[in-house]
Copies of this chain bind each other. A is one copy, B any other.
Amino acid sequence: MKQINILVGGPKENLPQDFITRIQANPKAIWLGADYGAVRLAQLGCQMAAALGDFDSSTAEEVALVSRFSQTKLQRFKPEKDYTDTELILKRAYELYPDLDEVVIYGATGGRLDHLLANIFMATRPGLADLMPKVRLIDCQNTVTFYQPGSYTITKEADKKYLGFFLLTPVKALTLGKVKYPLQVVDFAYPVSLASNEFLDQTAHFAFESGMIAVIQSKD
């Protein structure tokens, strides 16, 4: 299975506690970095398959460092680009690795809410929707995965307690099974965060007929 890792520019306080260990323990892992995420990776001595950003908040030295650690030419964009850094680096990952199976994105939460919401809602952007089921956002308390209509069995992460279903769009015929608060074929006309559900066992089941759903496993 080909897994690609991306670090974008969110605050380091929101990264998983073992983030640096994860990098050091897997020197063959493939990494890409966006904006201040690329700076952090370079500072950790991590080779990147690609790096990009507007680097508005970075010094010339930081940009030069990123350039040295990027295996392909560093892409600098003007801040007024039409896509966010996260969207651009995700497209770049897919260009470089069209056979990728999973993309894990770190640094997508915390700090500015306009960024966080853009990172969640890129799931509904034309051109990205098909890639999103392969994307996993990970921070210190949450894992977010994205689903198009279908029937799914999901597995509990050992360190997580809560299970949230965030409906990014209107959703038809949502069924939640093997969870503390089950649902049976319910329609939702608006986006809504069905928070604080829980697994009853090691797996849970859900299904829906139209729309897009983000599943959030989280802990306090």
**Residue A206 is within 8 A (CB to CB) of chain B in the complex:** no
Contacts of A180 in B (CB 8 A): 80
A114, CB-defined interface residue at 8 Å:
yes
In whole angstroms, what is the CA distance A118 to B216 when docked?
12
Q: Is the CB of B112 within 8 A of A142?
A: yes
Residues from chain B with a CB closer than 8 A to the CB of A194 are 114
Q: Which residues of B contact A134 (CB under 8 A)?
A: none
State how many angstroms separate the Cβ of A72 from the closest Cβ of chain B: 25
Residues of A within 8 A of B (CB): 13, 57, 79-80, 84, 109-118, 120-121, 124-125, 139, 141-142, 144, 162, 164, 166, 168-169, 180-181, 190-196, 216, 218-220
The quantity of this chain's copies bound in the complex is 2
B124 touching A218, Cβ below 8 Å: no
* Set B113, B142, B191: member contacting A124, Cβ < 8 A: B191
The reply to whether A112 and B13 form a contact with Cβ atoms under 8 Å apart is no
Query: In this complex, what residue of B is CB-closest to A142?
Result: B113
Closest to A120 in B: B117
CA distance A57 to B220 in the complex (A): 9
A139, B139: Cα distance in complex, Å: 19
CB distance from A169 to the nearest CB of B (A): 7
